Amino acid sequence: MSNLLQTTIKIRVRFSEVDSINMVWHGNYVQYLEDAREAFGHQYGMEYMHIFNSGYLAPVADIHLQYKSTASIDDELVVVITYRPTRGAKLVFDYEIRKTSDNTLVMVAETTQLFVTRNGEFEVSEPPFLTEWKKKCNV
Amino acid sequence: MSNLLQTTIKIRVRFSEVDSINMVWHGNYVQYLEDAREAFGHQYGMEYMHIFNSGYLAPVADIHLQYKSTASIDDELVVVITYRPTRGAKLVFDYEIRKTSDNTLVMVAETTQLFVTRNGEFEVSEPPFLTEWKKKCNV
Amino acid sequence: MSNLLQTTIKIRVRFSEVDSINMVWHGNYVQYLEDAREAFGHQYGMEYMHIFNSGYLAPVADIHLQYKSTASIDDELVVVITYRPTRGAKLVFDYEIRKTSDNTLVMVAETTQLFVTRNGEFEVSEPPFLTEWKKKCNV
Amino acid sequence: MSNLLQTTIKIRVRFSEVDSINMVWHGNYVQYLEDAREAFGHQYGMEYMHIFNSGYLAPVADIHLQYKSTASIDDELVVVITYRPTRGAKLVFDYEIRKTSDNTLVMVAETTQLFVTRNGEFEVSEPPFLTEWKKKCNV
């Protein structure tokens, strides 16, 4: 059985992130997800620089955001990012965003990243550094 | 048969929209889609202020982006937004983004907007102004 | 003699904030300063909602940024915001941004905010809530 | 006497650029200025890629924004950027932003850019490509 790799971050909604109808502008959530992904990377050794130094970039190839409720200025949000075990040359994450105050579900999302070599070519088979990481993390 | 409602806009990638690996940062595409939606609204009379003055807000409830190729600084992009005929209290749009230079497909996306009254309640049945608009546009 | 009102925040540079030449895009510093101002407001009771509930908005009327050195991905920055005692209907803050790692000075900045009533008119004399706050803080 | 080098661009305020008090968020003007600078560069042959291919980067070292009036959603703004003749290794621009509708002055600003070699060192004397450009433009 594989481990559950999960990271949790807290975000306080900024004044500038709220739009004219007092809700977080929907595009800003993409940044919240990236913040969670970066925190996950730092925790589990899969950060941007590690991928880069292994010879790869990992651009987001697919992102699906489902907005369940709104958030506004000074709300504190909790973003939970979970690694979804998959085969092949990709990284898939699931996300859940809730308000700290009352646990309201604000968003459910998922992202898929593919691997590109530094020459800009898509990697079709699983990169060695990823295989190694999966083994180490038991996922 | 219903009309095809479609708007096309051009976008020149800005210096600040490109990230450290010389690609448009993936979150910026959400703005490009909104730019297309605003242009569509202006063309077909479904702009933000018209919705607002009809007593509603139309927050994005679902957004799905599929990245097919990268774009970089000074690339000119063409965003085509197409209204997808649907029943009920929602607006669904499909998007396609291509490079002007060689027609490369950069992104395929879709968004779904729901309607919220000014009291912040979700509208479950089709708002009258939307019914009227669909009739007028034959969609 | 007046008190020194000062707040310090830490910021980790995000991947998306770095531009194609691997430096924080210069416009993003405006956000860092606002982050510091919000932290200051929370610490000393001069936050956005307090100003708003007192009947005012406090838009930035002047901002001057001097870039002394660059910062890049994953750098940790320390932003120090200091209240500058002034008379009349305004708020003036000085800022200094340094790298945590080696204390390099990255930026020196200042902002001036004026007060606008909810009817959108500029307030020329010191708002009562500001007089009270200055007294309480001894500034 | 030197030529007056000036470029004018139009900007329509986007929904996402307006904050919760219905004004363009003050940080967004930094982008408007960069948009004007990019248009100036394309018109007069001083664009980012020309500077880069000449062996330099031209980071913004100083930016001073004075907000004179507010702008809101769907306002059309006119940004006028003017090259300020100066000696030495820098580029200085003055900006004026007005509303198209009634010519209201929204902002006055200036930026100073310095030159950095690709090795990351500040250039203290005027780069040859800049001398040549000044001659060609008679500024």
Query: Over its length of 139 residues, how does chain A's per-residue pLDDT go in tens digits?
Result: 678 999 999 999 998 999 888 899 999 999 999 999 999 999 999 988 889 999 999 999 999 999 999 999 889 999 999 999 999 999 999 999 999 999 999 999 999 999 999 888 899 999 999 999 999 999 9
8 Å CB contact between D81 and D7: yes
Q: Check C15 against A34: CB less than 8 A apart.
A: yes
Q: How far is CA C70 from the centre of its chain?
A: 20
Alpha helices in C2-100 (DSSP H): 28-44, 48-53
Tell me the pLDDT tens digit for each residue of B113-128.
Answer: 999 998 888 899 999 9
Put residue D10 in one of left, alpha, beta given phi > 0 → left and psi -120 to 50 → alpha. Answer: beta
**Encoding tokens for residue B71?**
């774009």
- Strand ranges across the sheet with C60-67: C6-12, C76-83, C90-99, C105-114, C60-67, D60-67, D105-114, D90-99, D76-83, D6-12
Query: What is the model's pLDDT at position A2?
Result: 79
Smallest CA–CA distance, residue A26 to chain B, in Å, is: 7
Low-confidence ranges of chain C (pLDDT < 70): 1
Q: Which residue of D has its CA nearest to C29?
A: D27
Q: Check C34 against A48: CB less than 8 A apart.
A: no
Residue D121 DSSP class: P
Smallest CA–CA distance, residue D14 to chain A, in Å, is: 11
Neighbours of B31 (CB within 10 A): 18
Residue A6 β-bridge partners:
A82
Residue A77 β-bridge partners:
A11, A99
Q: In D14-59, at which residue ranges do the beta strands (DSSP E only) sit?
A: 56-57
Taking only residues 38 to 77 of chain B, the set having a beta carbon closer than 8 angstroms to any beta carbon of chain D reads 38, 48-49, 73-74
Given a cut of 90, is residue B85 above it in pLDDT? yes
All partners of chain A with 3 or more CB pairs under 8 angstroms: B, C, D
Mutation pick from B9, B11, B15, B57 vs chain D, by most beta carbons of D within 10 Å, is B15
Q: Check D25 against A19: CB less than 8 A apart.
A: no
Given a cut of 70, is residue B1 above it in pLDDT? no
Q: Which residue of D has its CA nearest to C117?
A: D21
At CB < 8 A and 24+ separation, what contacts does C115-118 make? Answer: C115/C51, C115/C56, C115/C57, C115/C58, C115/C89, C115/C90, C116/C56, C116/C57, C116/C58, C116/C59, C117/C55, C117/C56, C118/C55, C118/C56, C118/C57
Query: What is the model's pLDDT at position C1?
Result: 65
Q: Check B73 against C20: CB less than 8 A apart.
A: yes
Query: What is the model's pLDDT at position A9?
Result: 98
Q: How far apart are CA D100 and CA D104, in angstroms?
A: 8
| pTM exceeding 0.95 | no
Per-residue CA distances from B55 to A69, A114, B87, D23 (Å)? 19, 43, 20, 21
Residue type, B90: K
Tell me the pLDDT tens digit for each residue of B51-82.
Answer: 999 999 999 999 999 999 999 988 999 999 99
Residue type, D98: R
Q: Check D65 against C62: CB less than 8 A apart.
A: yes
Low-confidence ranges of chain D (pLDDT < 50): none
**Encoding tokens for residue D63?**
């930016």
Taking only residues 88 to 127 of chain B, the set having a beta carbon closer than 8 angstroms to any beta carbon of chain C reads none
Residues 6+ apart with CB under 8 A from B131: none
Q: Which residue has the higher pLDDT, D1 or B37?
A: B37
Whether D19 has its CB under 8 Å from any CB of chain A: the answer is yes
